[in-house]
Amino acid sequence: MSHPSLTVNRLTHSIGAEISGVDLAAGVEPAVAKELVDLFHEHQVLFFRDQQLDDVSHRDFARNFGPLQHFAFLPPVSEDVPEVHAIDIDGAKPKTANADIWHSDATFLEKPPLGSMLRAVILPDVGGDTLWASMYAAYDALSSHVQRLIEGMTAVHDSSNSVSHARKTVNADYRPVHHPVVRTHPVTGRKALFVNKTFTTRLDGVTDRENESLLTMLTDHVRSPDFQVRFHWTPGSVVLWDNRCTQHYAVADYAGRRRMHRVVIDGDAPA
Ligand code: SIN
């Protein structure tokens, strides 16, 4: 049953809901937090507008969805709130963050994040939208022949393409990891396609030629608008996504500064 104060506006058939009727900075009661956790599992991405979060209330609200990581690949915004880091891009310079390639966050880890919560701090005048795609919908749209083909298959996820600068930051060697190509969400039980262009480098157990075609087909599948929702950020926007069943893409089409603060929620080994 829906909490009476919350209004839920679904944005597409397969992914995303805008939630209003809640003041995140004020802290949410346990009943509302439970409802939001259920909505998170149902819609995969939750959008909130006109919020007044600062770094502390951002962190505290995110804790309703699980323990937070000290994300090692970007520096914290302050020592007081080490869970919050910034993604700060000057649109006038060449963009180096690689967020304009479809991805789930940090799938090169044995335990990739459960999810992330991103908040707008400085926005460009125009542009800088973010898209999310449902990897449940992507999986469901594959033919039963391809679904059978990839069932039980694993793939290599490797940070070397995109976070070599971050590796230097943490001074650690992240070895490639193997994750299932089809992941079962631990809460909903739904199957999600779990390969992405940024970090998945090789399907296991197939020839090079097979890999070239099949991995490309699977990682490009996310591009269908049928699985996507696009969000235009405004001051006070906050977005929470489930990294286990979605991918996202930050459109690099802006000329001004774009600063976002993010927290990352701890995840499990995909199964
Ligand atoms: C990210 O890839 O986590 C950042 C997305 C964004 O900046 O919109």
Whether 250 is in the pocket of ligand 1, judged by its Cβ within 6 Å, is: yes
CA of 38 to the centre of ligand 1 (A): 23
Q: Indicate which residue's Cα is closest to atom 5 of ligand 1.
A: 250
Task: Give the per-residue pLDDT at 71.
Answer: 81
Contact 119, 238 (CB under 8 A): yes
Q: Is 105 among the catalytic positions?
A: yes
Whether 99 is in the pocket of ligand 1, judged by its Cβ within 6 Å, is: yes
Q: Is 262 among the catalytic positions?
A: yes
Task: Give the per-residue pLDDT at 192.
Answer: 98
Structure tokens that stand for 253 in this block: 């089409």
DSSP-derived 3-state class of residue 27: coil
CA of 118 to the centre of ligand 1 (A): 7
* Lateral strand order in the sheet of 257-265: 7-10, 17-20, 45-48, 238-242, 115-122, 257-265, 85-90
Whether 238 is in the pocket of ligand 1, judged by its Cβ within 6 Å, is: no
Tell me which CATH code domain 1-271 carries.
Answer: 3.60.130.10
Structure tokens that stand for 55 in this block: 């770094």
Task: Give the per-residue pLDDT at 93.
Answer: 80
Task: Give the per-residue pLDDT at 260.
Answer: 97
Comparing CA positions, the residue from 101, 62, 99 lying closest to residue 84 is 62
Give pTM, 2 decimals: 0.94
Residue 32: count other Cβ atoms within 10 Å of its Cβ: 18
CA distance 79 to 77: 7
Checking 62-65 for CB contacts under 8 A at 24+ apart, the result is: 62/117, 62/240, 62/263, 62/265, 64/28, 64/33, 64/36, 64/37, 65/37, 65/40, 65/114, 65/115, 65/117, 65/240, 65/265
Query: Residues for the chain: how many in total?
Result: 271
Per-block mean pLDDT, blocks of 10 residues, the chain (271 long):
79 98 96 97 98 98 95 87 94 74 94 97 97 98 98 94 51 82 98 97 98 98 97 98 98 94 97 97
Query: What is the number of the ligand 1 atom nearest to the C-alpha of 262?
Result: 3
CA of 250 to the centre of ligand 1 (A): 5
Whether 55 is in the pocket of ligand 1, judged by its Cβ within 6 Å, is: no
Phi-psi domain of 155 (left: phi exceeds 0; alpha: psi -120 through 50; beta: other): beta
Comparing CA positions, the residue from 181, 186, 268, 269 lying closest to residue 221 is 181
Contact 106, 73 (CB under 8 A): yes
Whether 260 is in the pocket of ligand 1, judged by its Cβ within 6 Å, is: yes
Task: Give the per-residue pLDDT at 235.
Answer: 98
- Name the active-site residue from 119, 185, 258, 262: 262
CA of 189 to the centre of ligand 1 (A): 26
